[in-house]
């Protein structure tokens, strides 16, 4: 009788244990965790690290969880957690993250940089002396004022390929990139537009009343100018004639500078220290104390700029919201937003700093005059007849 009773008890206990184990497995499979201490069932979540880095140590809340990424950390309780990533001879990466229940937290901005990273060095086989150069994502243009010559090179797989030379009077000319493939050259009442892919030129004659005239492709050619302190837009026809002008805003008191920044469907104007967004036929003031020409993200949805307080501000183009990203005491000479919109490159005191968007990780990198390629992670500088290219592709 006792054996039969014990058998029944063990059977019941086994059934209860099976039910409990099955329930626990089902709860775990759906992301739930049983908190016996507080007699509670907690919905957990996942942290998904999507960067590709080997031979590292990933610590989550000071516990080693992985030695490579990509990696998913599962069954995480909601709340604030710490994530640390280490790699020998590389910079440390650290971030506090907030995890929400039933929500996958994506981490795709891990940036660790080697302490002894060396560039590709190329000797420029130039048969002339240049006075200055312009550089964008596609071209390097060497400017020789003595020869009145523009030598255009294409940057292709870290190599410079000579495209063409253009002989043109350069005295008192202001040169600037209109977009990735067009160079603007302003001289008094004329703007010459040079198509760098084929060398074709177009000349716009600027009417006398158009002060500080500049142009943008957006996606057609538009002109912007100041007249008596007011900002105007000029519609330019295919034959480069001005068909109509529209006033965008009055009484700006702009005197010294007038710059345009454009993406496919947005135009921004920096007028002295004022920043305007062109909204249809109106110029809307965004900021009245901007220092540097702003940068538009590659996806065209956000803008960053620096104001007189040393604040880096993120401006959402579509909803108009502003977020303060960081504040610097030192003067910032240059700012570039990388194409993936996850990293900001800052040049201050002739040193390059790379930061993620929330500025929880910043790395001092190089100390040269810089150009950051916005279409791919590449850092370039030219020193006399040497081209140095730091290809950061494997680090992002």
Question: pTM of the predicted model, to two decimals?
Answer: 0.73
356 in any annotated domain: no
DSSP letter, residue 115 = T
Domain span including residue 59:
41-107
pLDDT band, very low/low/confident/very high, at 27 (cuts 50, 70, 90): very low
pLDDT band, very low/low/confident/very high, at 124 (cuts 50, 70, 90): confident
Distance between CA 145 and CA 188 in Å, rounded?
18
> What does residue 361 show for φ and ψ, rounded to 5 degrees?
-135, 120
pLDDT band, very low/low/confident/very high, at 38 (cuts 50, 70, 90): very low
What per-residue confidence (pLDDT) applies to 197?
Answer: 82
* Higher per-residue pLDDT: 351 or 214: 214
82 in any annotated domain: yes
360 in any annotated domain: no
Distance between CA 122 and CA 126 in Å, rounded?
12
CATH number at residue 57: 2.60.40.10
Report the pLDDT averaged over residues 146-159: 81
DSSP letter, residue 393 = G
Whether pLDDT at 29 is above 60: no
Provide, rounded to the nearest whole percent, the portion of the chain with pLDDT above 70.
Answer: 81
Q: Cα–Cα distances in Å, from 2 out to 5, 6, 9, 15, 16?
A: 5, 6, 10, 20, 21
Cross-strand bridge partners of residue 304: 295, 314
Distance between CA 192 and CA 175 in Å, rounded?
9
Mean pLDDT of the chain: 80
Helix extents (H) in 127-285: none
* Higher per-residue pLDDT: 305 or 159: 305
103 in any annotated domain: yes
76 in any annotated domain: yes
Reported as a single tens digit per residue, the pLDDT across 337-388 is 876 678 888 887 767 788 888 888 887 766 556 666 666 656 666 666 777 7
For tokens 């965004």, the residue is 286
Non-local (6+) Cβ contacts of 233 within 8 A are: 222, 223, 224, 245, 246, 248, 278, 281
pLDDT band, very low/low/confident/very high, at 206 (cuts 50, 70, 90): confident
98 in any annotated domain: yes
Q: Count the domains in the chain.
A: 1
Report the pLDDT averaged over residues 79-94: 89
290 in any annotated domain: no
What per-residue confidence (pLDDT) applies to 221?
Answer: 84
91 in any annotated domain: yes
Task: Return the C-alpha torsion angle 48, 50, 56, 59, nearest 10.
Answer: -20
Q: 65, 74 in Cβ contact below 8 A?
A: no
pLDDT band, very low/low/confident/very high, at 37 (cuts 50, 70, 90): very low
Q: 178, 217 in Cβ contact below 8 A?
A: yes
């Amino acid at each position: 009788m006792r054996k039969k009773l014990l058998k029944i008890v063990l059977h019941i206990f086994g059934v209860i244990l099976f039910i409990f184990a099955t329930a626990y497995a089902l709860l775990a499979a759906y992301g739930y965790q049983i908190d016996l201490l507080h007699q509670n069932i907690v919905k957990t979540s996942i942290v998904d690290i999507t960067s590709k880095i080997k031979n590292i140590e990933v610590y989550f809340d000071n516990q080693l969880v992985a030695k490579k990424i990509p990696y998913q950390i599962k069954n995480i309780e909601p709340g604030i957690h710490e994530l640390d990533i280490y790699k020998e001879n590389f910079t440390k990466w650290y971030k506090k993250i907030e995890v929400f229940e039933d929500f996958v937290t994506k981490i795709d901005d891990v940036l660790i940089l080697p302490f002894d990273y060396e560039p590709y060095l190329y000797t420029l086989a130039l048969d002339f002396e240049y006075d200055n150069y312009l550089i964008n994502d596609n071209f390097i243009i060497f400017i020789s004022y003595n020869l009145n010559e523009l030598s255009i090179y294409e940057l292709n797989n870290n190599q410079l390929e000579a495209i063409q030379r253009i002989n043109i009077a350069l005295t008192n000319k202001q040169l600037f990139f209109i977009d990735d493939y067009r160079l603007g050259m302003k001289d008094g009442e004329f703007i010459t537009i040079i198509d760098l892919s084929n060398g074709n030129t177009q000349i716009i004659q600027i009417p006398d009343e158009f002060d500080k005239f500049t142009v943008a492709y957006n996606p057609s050619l538009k002109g912007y100018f100041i007249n008596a302190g007011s900002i105007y837009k000029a519609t330019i026809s295919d034959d480069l004639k001005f068909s109509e002008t529209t006033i965008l805003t009055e009484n700006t008191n702009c005197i010294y500078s007038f710059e345009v920044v454009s993406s496919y469907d947005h135009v921004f104007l920096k007028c002295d220290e004022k920043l305007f967004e062109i909204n249809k036929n109106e110029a809307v003031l965004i900021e009245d104390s901007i220092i540097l020409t702003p940068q538009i993200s590659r996806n065209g949805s956000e803008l960053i700029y620096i104001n007189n307080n040393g604040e880096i501000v993120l401006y959402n183009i579509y909803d108009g919201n502003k977020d303060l990203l960081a504040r610097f005491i030192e003067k910032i000479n240059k700012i570039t937003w990388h194409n993936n919109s996850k990293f900001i490159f800052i040049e201050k005191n002739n040193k390059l700093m790379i930061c993620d968007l929330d500025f929880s990780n910043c790395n001092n990198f190089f100390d040269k005059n810089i150009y950051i390629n916005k279409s791919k992670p590449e850092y370039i500088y030219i020193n006399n007849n040497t081209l140095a290219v730091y290809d950061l592709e494997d680090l992002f």
